[in-house]
Structure 1
Amino acid sequence: MDAKITVNGILYDWECVTVVGPQGTFIGITEITWKSKQEKENRYGKGGAPRGVGRKNYEPEGSITLDPDEFDRLRLALGGSVYRKSFVLEVNMAPPDAIASAVTLTGVMVNDIDQSAKQGESKIEIKCSLRVGMIRRDGVAEYE
């Protein structure tokens, strides 16, 4: 592997992130999150020490926060309703002084939409929590 060492350079920041969805590149996006877990539990038998491990389900999830016009672009790309179709989100991170990486969220569906507006606010955003089928990091599935 060609390791690249940078001192006082630009590493990962919001400017190096590009998110692509069914409507193309997201412009009015202010946040994207993804996480996953697979809990393990000790399995016991005779005696007090664990004799093995039991695995629970792999659970990926995510969220996106969009400006209203970007949400409308996504909604139209999905045929008018964000709740009915699954889609793919690609998160590409390409900093000028570090190694590029990509995260792909597959089987994405919107679970809920959170939006509000109040006096004195300078922006209105729409936060969507996401059901995710699989997270791939640089093309490799987290769980198989």
Structure 2
Amino acid sequence: MPWLYAAGDVACTLDSDAGFHLRQETWRNAENQARAVAEIIMGCTQPYRETPWMWTDQLGHAIQVTGLPEATDATVVRGDLNAANATVISLRDGCVSAGVTINQSRDRRYLEALVKSRKRIDPQQLGNTLVSLKELV
């Protein structure tokens, strides 16, 4: 039905890069989908595209997930996991595909830019905390 639109937690969209439909139950996704539906109604022909992102606070730790990490991804750790102060970056086919920040909220927007760009970066650079993620974008 070309006249029927859905946005928010009930909407399932095709992630063309991942090759499957995805439903994201996050406030940012609901807000951006509503904007995308309005743009489509007004004549925009660009497909909706959202990089998955969510956050939670657990036991005093701020955790943010960007992209869709998979168990088969290679990972690079920036920081100290034992101190719960790290960013874990997923690599798929050598490209940044996802990441999880633990008490490293300042890394999130640069991590998201790397996921969107699907950039291939040397894992040693990714793991080096002396090199900021901003420099790698």
Fold agreement, TM-score > 0.5: no
TM-score (norm. length: structure 1): 0.23
Which of the pair is proportionally richer in strand?
1
